[in-house]
Structure 1
Amino acid sequence: MPRGIPNAKRDDTGFRYTTFHVPLVPNPKHVSSTYLKSETQTLWYRKNQAKGKGAETAEDGPSDGRVVARKDTPSTTEPRPIYRNCIIRPGGKSEKDSGLSFDPPQNGDEYDVTPASSDPFDTKLAIITVSLRDRMRFYKLRVTPNAAAIASTFNEQFKPEIITSDPKQIQWLDNVEQADVVVGDEALRIGNPEDSGYRVRWPIHAANFNARDYASMQLLLSDTETLIEHTLRDKLDINRQDYKNFSVALVIPDLYNRPYVRELVQLLLVTMGFKQLCAQQESLAATYGAGMSNACVVDIGSKITTISCVDEGLVLPDTRLALNMGGDDVTEFLYVLLQQIKFPYRDADLNRSYDWAVLEDLKTRLCTLAESDVALNLYDFIVRRPHAQTEKYGLRAYDEVILAPMCLFEPRVIDFDSKTQGLKPLSPNVTEEIIGHQTENVAMAIDQPEGGGEKGPSEVIDVDEEKPPILDFALAPPPQSPPVEAPVKAIDVPFEASKLPLDVAIFNSARAAGGDDKIRKYLQAVLVIGGTALIPGMAHALESRLQAIATPLVPNMEKVQIIPPPKEVDPRVLSWKGAAVLGKMESVSELWISPSDWDMFGMRALKERCYYL
């Protein structure tokens, strides 16, 4: 034995130090269990075996309020309004007819613009016109002198033509008093819903619940269920008793509201009884539909515009932006511009559905973002009103057709504050415990106390009980407190960010993805979708403006590329096409949420199955 190591004392008793029986190590040769060693023992395999014949998929795209269902058939879209018997509600305020005009240049420069008055709207409109003139100067395009005066003279003297035999005459619904609810196309064919005791309601507004027209969440969800049920029954012949055989691909916004997602999932799985559900973000679904793995997705809708960068099947959270403007702002701005040049249809009122359809048709056919298309052209349009003959009007317009869509790049003419009036929360924030999520009490973080409110907690003084008490007269007079300043109102960062111009917002979204390499990567793969993306010249307008922003800020910046959607796919439904593609993939079997999963886990099931949310 080596030196330094003492002799170990032998235990003569032979007792063990514990009475706990330690089992022997099992021999691996004798183990016969196959637990979780094959795919047949997983939860998803058992659910696939129980599917039976339920191979059809019903898709719901609530981000802009339309329903898409798939049973090996083309996509079907349905208008969103719901007319319901109720008390007549007064309409909104009418558009302001400002009668603006621009004086001809006095210094001989045809590109010079001078506002006619000091009105704030005149000043904002002059700034947009100056931007247009600068681009026309760059492309060496001539400006037609006195174009506004020529167009105004023609439009003011034009008399409408009566069309006696209109092949596209609308069959207006007159006797709808017996119906309690009218949905979709039929609702749009009620000429004067107020006279019939109906009120139009839009359950989904700007990728969220319509908190302006509904007093309760129950009524809103009831109208949403009615809209989905009528669409599936009338368009796709899917009855309510067959819902249990269909799966739902739910397309949600990139900047989704958790109460919005929770109520929709509860409606589809529990109330309506669909078989299972998979949630998918819009931008990710759009990349599936376009066959891309990396892109900066720009969805220009009717109410809002969303921007997100997708990297290898994952939406980067820091790149998500939502702009509070869209195609409806283009329509309203076009109406204001046409009023300045004496719009011949003088009884137009955007609060009426058929007059709104007239302006939408003009926007679709007239508006452009190509400077070369600016000319003093003659257009025509048809007005179909209830209980009146069809009228055909003529219209001359000059730069109004390009100034209207330019409001997306110069949003200073849009009244953003009016869009938030009347909004109220319909449901509290989701407070369920979700791993990886914090409670989103944004309103509590923003609200600050105002003067005259409750007093805060008084100052706490440490008292030593062992020391004798000090008499009141021995206390020194307290120092005078400094004057309390008035509380500063907190800045609503999401609301202020929603006012950014479209080109600036796209660049900021790409810059939030990372360094210069990321900016170059995403600016060379900008995917523009949505109905407003169909405006002619949109791709070139975005390319030129983004190139002007990125070239001085990003080193070695190459050419900005706007990628159009596939030719065979309508850009308005590209996200739903991508959701249908996801529904046919093998990996989607791990993303389905059944009613039992939702009943047991709630929002936690959505978080763990849809890991990208």
Structure 2
Amino acid sequence: MVGKKSGRAQLREEGLARTDNNLDLTTWPQVNMINQKNYYTEFLKRDEQYLAVRYPLEEERNRMVREARDKDRALAQGVATEDAEEAEEGGGSYSRDDPSRLIVLHVGSQNLRIGLGSDALPKTVPMVIARKWKESESEEDDGEPRPKRMKIEGVVPADALPEKWFGEDFADQYMAMSSELRTRMRSNKRRVLPNSKDLVTNFNRRTSAEIISEHNDINRIEWTEIPSDPRKAPDYFTGNEALRIPEKSNPRYKLFWPIQNGTFNERDYTGRNQLYHDISKILEEAFRTQLGITRLKDLVNYKCVFIIPDLYERIYVTMMLDILIRDLGVGKVSLQQESLSATFGAGYGVACVVDIGAQKTSICCVDEGLCIEESRVNLKMGGADATETFIKMMLYGHFPYSDMNLKRRYDFLLAEELKQKFCSMEEETVTVKTWDFHLRASGQDTRKYTFKTYDETMLSIMGLFKPSIFDHSRKLEGRRKVILRSVDLYDGSPNDPISPAQVAVIETAAGKSTSVNGTQEGIPAVASTPQRPGQLNLLSRLNDNENTPRSSVAGSPAPEGTSTPNPDRDTPMGDADQPLIFRDPVLEKTKIADERDKTLPAIPLDAAILESVTQGARGDERKLRDFLGGIMLVGGGSKTPGLGAFLETRLRELRPYYGKEILVGPPPREFDPQVVVWKGASVFGRLSPAGNDSWVSKAEYDILGSRLLNNKCMFAW
């Protein structure tokens, strides 16, 4: 009888036993379940986990390792450390702190200021490019001049009286401003002759030009030479060469100004690519001619501080950054705001910076190295408007050179020269004076004109305080046609920065509200980010004097059986009499932004300064007095003699209680107001890179693009 076998032996004999070959059933990694009562993660909780922070640290570490290896190699080869350092300094290598490898760019509507960190002053280049075109800018629109002459009852402007060239509105405003000036001068005990206007008009009417032959003109102009063969002519010219191209050149060239009123020129451009390439070519030629950088591949060894407006447009910043890094190949770029750069250059800690440029005036309060967001104001007017108004007033008074046309290049340069020489805001200069100037045009003999002026030299600059005298007709033409507005990545709403001071300026310019002590009547305080319109109805309901209390403005829960959420609406769910009004927050924000774009922000300069200062102080009396006592005028438009004293007087008239505190002055240490912003950016760029984490490198930008600015900008992006 066979003994009983165990179950294991039976499985082994019958081949049913399980054998393990140590192979996993799957190649997928098996992750054990976490203890949900006690778990922890460090994801995005350390600065080193951000590329914007980690990359500069790694770059600094690699630099230290590389320097240590070079030093060890030099010692191993028997070269002393001092000799190695001297050889490194005298050779072709460069230091990361070398100011000669720092480029500072300040792009304006009319001029580009560019220079190296080792330069004492920047070079100034006109921000213009001339391209081959079918006709020049002076031949467009059937040769219509600028300023535009109006046709009165079918009479050609050349046959009509100069007093009727610019319409009755301009004539009435001009006469009103002249009358106010005479009244002001009489109150200040200044002598005013009653027939001054007639003296000027009669003299200018009978004055003729004096012809000077070209060989007798010692200050003749060197014009840009165009090859006789049109096929060999360059495709474009930039800077001063573009402004010196003869009007009747063969082939024709047309001037393009890619920056207008502080942002992109969408009126004269039809495509974004053309605008992009024109800016790139202007910067490339400036690098080559002004800085001596002939090869673009050398720019990878340079750093660049790019100055942006205080109240910028995001698409402007990202597009300029893309041009510098990707198109031109600059190694590192840092962004700096204009007003903050001005305080760096002047050495101020607290100031209200008023930057009067050619086509834009920006105002911002700066407190301890930070631009106060609520105080930023951007006015679309400047020195170019004063130049055009000055020429209109001169033509109104029978200017002997009645054919002046600012679309012609030599007339444009002449108008700028006349404004800089003769315009002033000092009342003692408002007398009948005799001046002369020389008109130089290509292919013509020099003409010398003698003329007289009276109050035109002051009233044209007075337009900054009465902007209705300026011509704003074409400033909004083509807005948002070429380059669309920047929108949020997630919900598509406009995300360009806005400030309460700028909103107040726009509302005042539109005539919708008046600004009193920095706050608008009937409009609640505005945050830096626009609020939803649905939130503005709360104040109107609280202000209604109703005997019957209304139901809550808070959203009611959705009715049962529906899965549709309850959006914002004017009427509560309980009001059965009125229909529901559904709101789209993104659409409402877009409508508000569109309405703002239709209004040109141009109000008197003194009112805009008080609005900015009041919003920047935010109710703090000490800060208000500090800002009023530190108003600094910078920019080319601020160089008009007597402008600071006149502005100070106007501010004291509007705020008599702060008469002793209000102080308006130029930058200290006899700085040129035109270059103080550039100088401040140069000082900022020469700070130690180890303590400055605002540099955007090419490698980082290639990975993250403009998203990198959230971690790199020293201001709220």
Shift in Å at residue 246 of structure 1? 0.7
Q: d(CA) in 2 for partners of 1:19 and 1:329?
A: 69
Give the match for residue 192 of structure 1: 247
* Whole-Å separation in 2 of the counterparts to 1:193 and 1:305: 35
- Aligned counterpart in structure 2 of residue 223 of structure 1, from 272, 275, 278: 278
**Residue in structure 2 matching 1:394, options 446, 450, 475:** 450
Cα-to-partner distance string for 1:312-340 (whole Å, 9 max, x where unaligned): 11111111111111111111111111112
Q: 1:439 aligns with which of 495, 503, 524?
A: 495
2:118 corresponds to which residue?
72
Distance 2:676 2:614 in 1: 25
Query: Given that residues 86 and 197 in structure 1 are in contact (C-alpha distance below 8 angstroms), is that contact kept between their aligned partners in structure 2?
Result: yes
Listed one character per residue, the Cα deviations across residues 356-393 of structure 1 (whole Å, up to 9, x for unaligned) are: 11111111111110111111011111100110011111
Q: CA deviation at 1:533?
A: 0.6
Q: Is the 8 A contact 2:352 2:613 kept in 1?
A: yes
| Counterpart in the other structure of 1:81 | 128
The structural deviation recorded for 1:72 is 2.0
Assess if the C-alpha contact under 8 Å between 1:289 and 1:577 holds in 2.
Answer: yes
Q: Against the structure 1 CA distance between its residues 601 and 86, is the aligned structure 2 distance closer, same or farther, given a 3 Å change threshold?
A: same
Return the offset for 1:87.
3.1
- Residues 55 and 700 in structure 2, CA contact (< 8 A), matched pair in contact too: no
Taking the TM superposition and a 5 Å limit, the aligned residue runs for 1:476-515 are 492-493=595-596, 496=599, 498-513=601-616, 514-515=618-619
- Tell me: CA distance 1:400–1:40, structure 2 relative to 1, closer, same or farther (3 Å): closer
Cα drift, residue 53 of structure 1? 3.4
How far is 1:228 from its partner? 0.9
* CA deviation profile, 1:202-254 (whole Å, cap 9, x unmatched): 11122211111211111111111111111111122112221011101010001
* Aligned-residue offset at 1:557: 5.0
What is the CA deviation profile of residues 158-207 of structure 1, one whole-angstrom value per residue up to 9, with x for unaligned ones?
12222231122112235254111111111111121675321111111222
> CA separation in 1, counterparts of 2:309 and 2:251?
36
Q: 2:168 aligns with which of 116, 119, 136?
A: 119
Residue 60 (structure 1) aligned with residue 105 (structure 2): yes
Tell me, what secondary structure is at the counterpart of 1:559? coil
Q: Does the alignment pair 1:545 with 2:650?
A: yes
| Alignment counterpart, residue 210 of structure 2, candidates 126, 149, 161 | 161
Distance in 2 between residues matched to 1:606 and 1:257, nearest whole Å: 14
Q: Which amino acid aligns with 2:289?
A: D
C-alpha distance in 2 between matches for 1:310 and 1:290: 12
Deviation at 1:287, TM superposition (A): 0.6
Pairing 1:91–2:155 present? no
- TM-score by length of structure 1 reads 0.79
For residue 289 of structure 2, the aligned residue among 225, 234, 240 is 234
Q: How does 1:384-533 map to 2 (within 5 A)?
A: 384-431=440-487, 433=489, 439-440=495-496, 492-493=595-596, 496=599, 498-513=601-616, 514-515=618-619, 516-533=621-638
Matched position secondary structure for 1:230: helix
Offset at residue 463 of structure 1 (A): 11
Corresponding residue number in structure 2 for 1:330: 386
Q: 1 or 2, which has the higher helix percentage?
A: 2
CA distance 1:269–1:219, change in 2 (3 Å): same
| Segment of structure 1 superposing worse, 375-384 or 201-210 | 201-210
- Separation in 1 of the partners of 2:303 and 2:327? 14
Q: Give the AA of the match of 2:252.
A: G
Identical aligned pairs, as a percentage?
A: 31
Distance 2:308 2:63 in 1: 25
CA distance in structure 1 between the aligned counterparts of 2:267 and 2:151, rounded to whole angstroms: 31
Distance (whole Å) between structure 2 residues aligned to residue 610 and residue 128 of structure 1 = 45
In structure 2, runs of 5+ residues without a counterpart are 1-32, 36-47, 67-92, 153-163, 499-529, 534-557, 563-576, 580-590
Distance 1:585 1:264 in 2: 23
Residue by residue over 1:508-546, the C-alpha shift from the partner in whole angstroms, topping out at 9 and shown as x without a partner, is 110111223332211110010111111010111110001
Alpha-carbon offset, residue 607 of structure 1: 2.3
2:188 pairs, out of 122, 128, 139, with 139
Q: Distance in 2 between matches of 1:268 and 1:591?
A: 16
| Equivalent runs, 1:235-274 vs 2, <5 Å | 235-239=290-294, 240-274=296-330
What do the CA deviations read for 1:460-496 (whole angstroms, capped 9, x no partner)? x99989xxxxxxxxxxxxx999xxxxxxx97844764
Moved more, 126-135 or 258-267: 126-135
Q: CA deviation at 1:265?
A: 0.6
Contact 2:117 2:682 in 1 (8 A): no
Cα deviation 1:130-154 (Å, max 9, x = unaligned): 3312321231111112111111111
The 1:40/1:197 distance shift into structure 2, 3 A limit, reads closer
Matched, 1:563 2:618: no
Residue 150 (1) aligns with residue 252 (2):
no
| Aligned counterpart in structure 2 of residue 380 of structure 1, from 433, 436, 460 | 436
Q: Secondary structure at the match of 1:565?
A: coil
Question: Against the structure 1 CA distance between its residues 149 and 237, is the aligned structure 2 distance closer, same or farther, given a 3 Å change threshold?
Answer: same
Cα separation, partners in 2 of 1:497 and 1:185, compared to 1, 3 Å = closer
Q: Tell me which moved more, 282-291 or 80-89.
A: 80-89
Conserved 8 A contact 1:85-1:199: yes
Conserved? CA contact 2:486–2:494, under 8 Å: no
Residue 595 of structure 1 pairs with residue 698 of structure 2? yes
Equivalent residue letter for 1:46:
R
1:366 maps to a residue whose letter is: F
* AA of the residue aligned to 2:220: Q
Q: Which amino acid aligns with 1:246?
A: Y
- Report the 3-state secondary structure (helix = DSSP H, G, I; strand = E; otherwise coil) of the residue aligned with 1:590: coil
1:60-81 deviations in Å (ceiling 9; x for gaps): 2224451412052341111111
Note if contact 2:130-2:242 (Cα within 8 Å) is conserved in structure 1: yes
Q: Secondary structure of the equivalent of 2:452? A: strand
Aligned equivalents of 2:484, 2:170: Cα separation in 1: 38
Which deviates further from its counterpart, 163-172 or 86-95?
86-95
